[in-house]
Amino acid sequence: MYFTVQTATHHRLPLYKTVLCVTCALLLIVNGFSLFHNLQALRGAQVLLSQTARVADRLQYLNVLVLDAESSMRSYFLSGRDSYLGPTRTALADSETEFKELEKLLADNPSQLKNLTQLHTLVRRRLSIMSQAIDVYRDGGLAEIVKIAQLSDDRASMDEIRLLVVIMEQEQNETLNARSSMFYQEYQKAVWLGVSINALAILVLIMFYQLVRRSFAHRAAVEHALQSANENLESTVEQRTEQLSVLSRHLISISEEEKVRLSRELHDELGANLTSIGMDIGAVTKQLRDSHPELAEQLKRARATLVETVEMKRRIVENLRPSLLDNLGLCAAIESYCEEFSRLSQVRCDCSVAAEIEHAARTSGGDLAIALFRIVQESLTNIRKYAKASRVTVTLARNGDGLMLRIIDDGIGISSDNIVKPMSHGLLGMRERALLLGGSMNIRRGRNDMGTCIEVAIPLRGATSGAAAPIPALPPAISDVISSVLHPPADDQTPSSPPYSTHPHNPPSLSDQAQ
């Protein structure tokens, strides 16, 4: 399985979604500006209404000032007390103040300013007449006042003031009504505009919500489909991995069976044929030694070639199936191979195999013995090729309900990349052999974080944990054959094929076996 390391493509938001988002944002912004503008307009209309009401109030107050001044003057004429002249004395100053305020309030109304100027003139003239009447009363008494009242028309001047005040109030009321109507119109306009903008914004938000909901539903469907595809892919990968693992274990079993068959055929048939040829050559050589020494010498060289062929056959047989494994057991085969590895590679190899291992290997069948031997063989081959180690330790012992094989070296170690590299056929083969027996293999750093440590745990199902059975003594015939191989006879007879070979040979790697 291959995984990409490229960065994912950056997907942008679709154009219509972007347009909807921008439109919604613009509507909200316009609504905000509109609300602010309407608020300012309403505030201005409210100020105008307040201004109109203040004008009406001040006109009424101005009329009250004139009436109070006239009433206080009449009270003074009747009683002759100066205490009644208070409103009359302050009327002029108060009226001037009111006229100034009215000029400010009516600055934007020319017609009202004109009426105000006329009213100002009438009020000032009326207050001046009151002041003159008070002076006349002080000089001539009440009789003079009566004469002046008979000759002057005070009622007409007061009526004129009242009429002008009424006219100004009426105009101001009309202005107030117009401004109230304008205020109401502005208020209605602001309300309708705000409602329209909000309705449009809500409509856009609803559309955007529908799009987001549809997009979310589509995304959920895509995620569900992707999850289903991943689950199917994972199940397919697990199934194919299991199939490949089963196939690998089957190939390993078939390979070992084929090697056993070939080794037996080579040992039995080819060994017998070579032995027969050697015996015939030896017999002919004896007959031709005296009469034809040249032919005897050629036959001697042919016999030497035959001996080399026998040795080649022995190496091939040993590479296919170690005879020590079948004849002397797993412990002897591992110890012998470790000694041979140390002799060939000039690397110290310490081998420690527990005594009860042999019984456990025999009771578990031949697959356990050949699998452990091949793991040791492949490990030592890799150490000799790549580790550059000076010392190797091979330990095989019981561990709980199973066996623990530990191979430790002090070499350069193996990197994590090489452990998981797809082309590490040797390590994969070792792991598959362990899995074939229901065990596991772990590769880590060795002692003091140097070198490599390979640990293989193999469970023993149904094996007893009692004492190991003693290895039976070899038959005399096999002992004689082994002695004849280790100590060849002095005559010219070709020895028969021994059950195992101590001649140096290169142990095959698991990758070569797979090929």
Rounded mean pLDDT, 138-164? 68
Percent pLDDT > 70 in the chain is 81
Quote the pLDDT of residue 179: 72
Quote the pLDDT of residue 476: 42
Rounded mean pLDDT, 451-480? 57
Task: Note the pLDDT tens digit of each residue in 278-303.
Answer: 888 888 888 888 888 888 888 888 88
With a cut of 70, say whether residue 497 has pLDDT above it.
Answer: no
Burial zone of 169 (CB within 10 Å; 0-12 exposed, 13-18 middle, 19+ buried): middle
Residue of higher predicted confidence among 70 and 470? 70
Confidence of residue 399 (pLDDT cuts 50, 70, 90): confident
Quote the pLDDT of residue 150: 55
With a cut of 60, say whether residue 169 has pLDDT above it.
Answer: yes
**Contact predicate 461/438, CB 8 Å:** yes
Task: Note the pLDDT tens digit of each residue in 66-102.
Answer: 888 878 887 877 777 777 778 877 887 888 888 888 8
Residue of higher predicted confidence among 465 and 406? 406
Rounded mean pLDDT, 199-228? 84
With a cut of 90, say whether residue 386 has pLDDT above it.
Answer: no
Task: Note the pLDDT tens digit of each residue in 173-184.
Answer: 787 788 778 778
Distances (CA, A) of 105 to 112, 118, 168, 201, 447: 10, 16, 13, 42, 103
Quote the pLDDT of residue 464: 39
Q: Average pLDDT, whole number, for the chain? A: 76
Q: What are the residues facing 406 on neighbouring strands?
A: 395, 455
Most confident of 105-119, 128-142, 144-158: 105-119
Quote the pLDDT of residue 444: 86
Closest CA to 391 of 351, 443, 347: 347
Pairing of strands 402-409, 348-353: unpaired
- The string of DSSP letters for 50-95 reads HHHHHHHHHHHHHHHHHHHHHHHHHHHHHH--GGGGHHHHHHHHHH
**Contact predicate 204/20, CB 8 Å:** yes
Q: How far is CA 255 from the centre of its chain?
A: 46
Quote the pLDDT of residue 349: 92
Residue with tokens 């987001």: 212
With a cut of 70, say whether residue 513 has pLDDT above it.
Answer: no
Q: How far is CA 283 from the centre of its chain?
A: 84
Rounded mean pLDDT, 390-403? 88
Most confident of 128-132, 231-235, 296-300, 315-319: 231-235
Quote the pLDDT of residue 505: 37
Confidence of residue 261 (pLDDT cuts 50, 70, 90): confident
Rounded mean pLDDT, 233-245? 84
